[in-house]
């Protein structure tokens, strides 16, 4: 007997090469998509607001929350003392307290949480806290951290090839330094978790997160539960971009702590200002470099120091910096390279995953170096890039990355060659140069930049996933 299956009409009409609509696109555009803050709240839901430090570094000398507890609508106030198992949400290194305990390490660090009958009452109560600090001098910049040898993880040294010989024999050398700032994720849906107590000391946690399993594990660690007692659901996110990979855990743990202690559903939605103050960004980097090259712009040797602003804790700074090291060469062959990577500890919010996960920070410096070489040799930067590509086919030499991986399918030379023609690159460049000569204020520019990006993590335990797919009787 033959059975026909009627698939979703949007999927049925799709053909090879055509885009397939996002499975929730029709809900997004009609406003019907349900995010956590759209969910109907259960009876007796408590609303949470977090109290944050007003000191970048120091000891807490007074911690008076009596007025907070007595404020209108307040059900309870929870601090580090209420976390009886593990006051930590660190994804790899256990150096991220859920609540600061005795000392603070950055402005905006979580100190306590208020559970109240309304969000407004919780926010008002938070402001009544009387907290005093014995302030200490904070480390706020990469340069200060380097001078004081302040690291969240030990420095890493890496070298490949005969670097000293390359610099000794190359016809030309340049050196320089450059800084790259961080970046706020600014997801439209802020950090939010809604923890619901269930029977037999279990929890259901609705969390806007990129990593539900890690949320489940860290909630269990903090509260002394087993994984079968905690279920984390993330139906959809209003943006994440890395900001909800690890750092959604702190807020999920706080909501779960309040739900466990109160026995009532607890909802924690960070105010936008608090979200931006108290959650990490893309890692900013500072670079110092020297390069040796010949008259054609071919790289002979490279020395680079990459120093990243990790903030006060390690978070995901280890794998982010390792990816930056691996992506330092981008699409170019590095015959001899020496890298020093500094993971700087500063008294700022701990920086975290961000789209590219360290890859853009690695590629940024080599692209600037190639531009400087082009200016030095007075030629178009695209020629310098073409000169330094990997070989098109394996076995021709120049086919291994600086950390040893073989480049097997290098399409960059061919693609760039075709793009230079199809984009009218050189004709447009000439037109732009004429425009710039004729205009003293407004200037234009044009660049063609390749990108080669790895798809796995240096933190190898992240290179796994699981999926459960149900196929029902009707074929859906």
Q: Determine the average pLDDT of the residues in 231-249.
A: 97
**Which residues pair with residue 256 across a beta bridge?**
none
What is the C-alpha to C-alpha distance for residues 64 and 366, in angstroms, rounded to an integer?
A: 52
For the domain spanning 142-177+284-438, the CATH number is 3.30.365.10
Architecture of the domain made up of 46-135+186-278: 2-Layer Sandwich (3.30)
For residue 377, pLDDT over 70 is answered with: yes
Write the pLDDT tens digit of every residue in 412-469: 999 999 999 999 999 999 999 999 999 999 999 999 999 999 888 888 888 888 889 9
Shared fold status for 46-135+186-278 and 142-177+284-438? yes
Residue-level pLDDT at 244? 98
Helices vs. strands in the chain: H and E counts, helices first:
14, 15
Residue-level pLDDT at 5? 46
What is the C-alpha to C-alpha distance for residues 184 and 279, in angstroms, rounded to an integer?
A: 9
The answer to whether 259 and 267 are in contact (CB under 8 A) is no
Write the pLDDT tens digit of every residue in 110-129: 999 999 999 999 999 999 99
**Which residues pair with residue 204 across a beta bridge?**
196, 231
Q: How far apart are the first and last CA of the chain?
A: 19
Residue-level pLDDT at 68? 98
Residue 23 CB-half CA count within 13 A:
4
DSSP 36: G
* Location of structure tokens 């054609």: 296
| Cα 150 to the center of its chain, rounded Å | 21
What is the C-alpha to C-alpha distance for residues 429 and 452, in angstroms, rounded to an integer?
A: 24
What is the C-alpha to C-alpha distance for residues 213 and 227, in angstroms, rounded to an integer?
A: 9
What 3-state class would DSSP assign to 416?
Answer: helix
Q: What residues does each domain of the chain span?
A: 46-135+186-278, 142-177+284-438
Average pLDDT of the chain to the nearest whole number:
95
The answer to whether 448 and 420 are in contact (CB under 8 A) is yes
Residue 447: burial class (beta carbons within 10 Å; 0-12, 13-18, 19+): exposed
Write the pLDDT tens digit of every residue in 320-344: 999 999 999 999 999 999 999 999 9
* Location of structure tokens 């695209």: 382
Write the pLDDT tens digit of every residue in 159-188: 999 999 999 999 999 999 999 999 999 999
Greatest CA separation for the chain:
80
What is the C-alpha to C-alpha distance for residues 291 and 369, in angstroms, rounded to an integer?
A: 8
Please list the alpha-helical segments (H only) found in 160-247: 163-169, 212-223
What is the C-alpha to C-alpha distance for residues 23 and 439, in angstroms, rounded to an integer?
A: 49
The token pair that represents 69 in the structure block: 């507890």
Write the pLDDT tens digit of every residue in 59-96: 999 999 999 999 999 999 999 999 989 999 999 999 99
What is the C-alpha to C-alpha distance for residues 388 and 402, in angstroms, rounded to an integer?
A: 13
């Amino acid at each position: 007997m033959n059975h026909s299956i009627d698939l979703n009409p949007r999927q049925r009409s799709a053909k090879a090469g055509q885009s397939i609509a996002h499975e929730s696109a029709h809900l997004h555009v009609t406003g019907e998509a349900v995010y956590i803050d759209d969910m109907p709240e259960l009876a007796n839901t408590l609303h949470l607001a977090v109290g944050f430090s007003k000191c970048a570094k120091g000891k807490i000398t007074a911690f008076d929350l009596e007025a907070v507890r007595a404020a209108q609508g307040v059900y309870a106030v929870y601090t580090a003392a209420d976390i009886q198992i593990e006051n930590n949400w660190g994804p790899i290194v256990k150096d991220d307290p859920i609540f600061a305990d005795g000392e603070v390490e950055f402005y905006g660090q979580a100190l306590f949480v208020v559970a109240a009958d309304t969000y407004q009452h919780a926010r008002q109560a938070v402001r009544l806290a009387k907290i005093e600090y014995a302030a200490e001098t904070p480390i706020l910049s990469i340069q200060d951290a380097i001078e004081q040898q302040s690291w969240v993880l030990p420095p890493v040294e890496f070298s490949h090839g005969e670097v000293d010989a390359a610099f000794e024999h190359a016809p030309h050398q340049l050196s320089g330094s450059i800084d790259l700032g961080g970046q706020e994720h600014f997801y439209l849906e802020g950090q939010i978790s809604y923890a619901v107590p269930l029977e037999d000391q279990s929890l259901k946690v609705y969390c806007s997160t990129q990593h539900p399993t890690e949320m489940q594990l860290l909630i269990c660690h903090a509260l002394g539960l087993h994984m079968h007692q905690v279920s984390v659901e993330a139906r959809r996110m209003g943006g994440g971009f890395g900001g909800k990979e690890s750092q959604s855990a702190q807020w999920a743990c706080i909501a779960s702590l309040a739900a466990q202690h109160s026995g009532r559903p607890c909802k924690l939605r960070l105010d936008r200002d608090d979200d931006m103050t108290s959650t990490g960004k893309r890692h900013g980097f500072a670079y110092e470099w020297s390069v040796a090259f010949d008259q054609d712009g071919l790289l002979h040797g490279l020395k680079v120091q990459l120093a990243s602003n990790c903030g006060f804790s390690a978070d995901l700074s280890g794998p982010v910096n390792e990816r930056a090291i691996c992506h330092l060469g981008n699409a170019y062959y590095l015959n001899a390279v020496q890298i020093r990577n500094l993971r700087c500890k500063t008294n700022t919010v701990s920086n975290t995953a961000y789209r590219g996960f360290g890859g853009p920070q690695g590629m940024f410096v080599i692209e600037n170096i190639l531009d400087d070489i082009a200016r030095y040799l007075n030629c178009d930067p695209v020629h310098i890039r073409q000169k330094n590509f990997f070989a098109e086919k394996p076995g021709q030499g120049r086919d291994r990355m600086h950390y040893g991986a073989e480049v097997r399918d290098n399409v960059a030379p061919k693609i760039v060659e075709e793009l230079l023609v199809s984009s009218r690159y050189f004709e447009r460049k000439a037109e732009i140069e004429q425009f710039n000569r004729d205009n003293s204020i407004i200037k234009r520019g044009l660049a063609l930049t390749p990108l080669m990006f790895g798809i796995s993590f240096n933190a190898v335990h992240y290179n796994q996933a699981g999926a459960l797919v149900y196929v029902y009787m009707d074929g859906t």
